[in-house]
Amino acid sequence: MQVLTNLVSNAWKYTPEGGKITVRAFQTNGRVRVEVIDTGLGISPEDQSKLFTQFFRSEAPQVREQTGWGLGLNVTKKLVEIMDGEIGFSSALNEGSVFWFSLPLA
């Protein structure tokens, strides 16, 4: 629940008014995959490689408008890994992002 809450919270913070956030889940190869898709700010190629790093926050002005310590995605990744899962994303600047995680089915 914490993983999903963090990803949806980030999508909400970085999607301007009038944007769209979609959450979907499906089963594949003995795993459940959850995706949080937004039409928000997107992430620059320079920032993408640092995204799950502890205390990383982009220098982009729209990101700096939001409060935070740069811990959310780092903690989220650790939680997913503890549950034998995987986490990742795809993003294009000014086009939005898709964050996903997958966990083994019980």
Question: Which CATH number do you get for residue 12?
Answer: 3.30.565.10
**At a CB cut-off of 8 Å and minimum separation 6, what does 69 contact?**
55, 57
Identify the pLDDT of residue 106: 81
Identify the pLDDT of residue 2: 95
Identify the pLDDT of residue 70: 65
pLDDT in tens, 16-71: 999 999 999 999 999 999 999 999 999 999 999 999 998 777 766 676 667 666 67
Give the span between the Cα atoms of 40 and 16, in whole angstroms.
6
Identify the pLDDT of residue 101: 98
The single residue listed with the structure tokens 């999607």 is 15
* pTM for the model: 0.88
Q: Transcribe the chain into DSSP letters.
A: -HHHHHHHHHHHHTS-TT--EEEEEEEETTEEEEEEEE-S----HHHHTTTTSTT-----HHHHTS---S-HHHHHHHHHHHTT-EEEEEEETTTEEEEEEEEE--
Q: How many domains does the chain have?
A: 1
Identify the pLDDT of residue 56: 73
Give the span between the Cα atoms of 19 and 75, in whole angstroms.
26
Identify the pLDDT of residue 27: 97
Describe the crossing of helices 2-13 and 72-82 by its angle, rounded to 10 degrees: 150
Residue 79 has pLDDT above 80, yes or no: yes
Domain extent for 46: 2-104
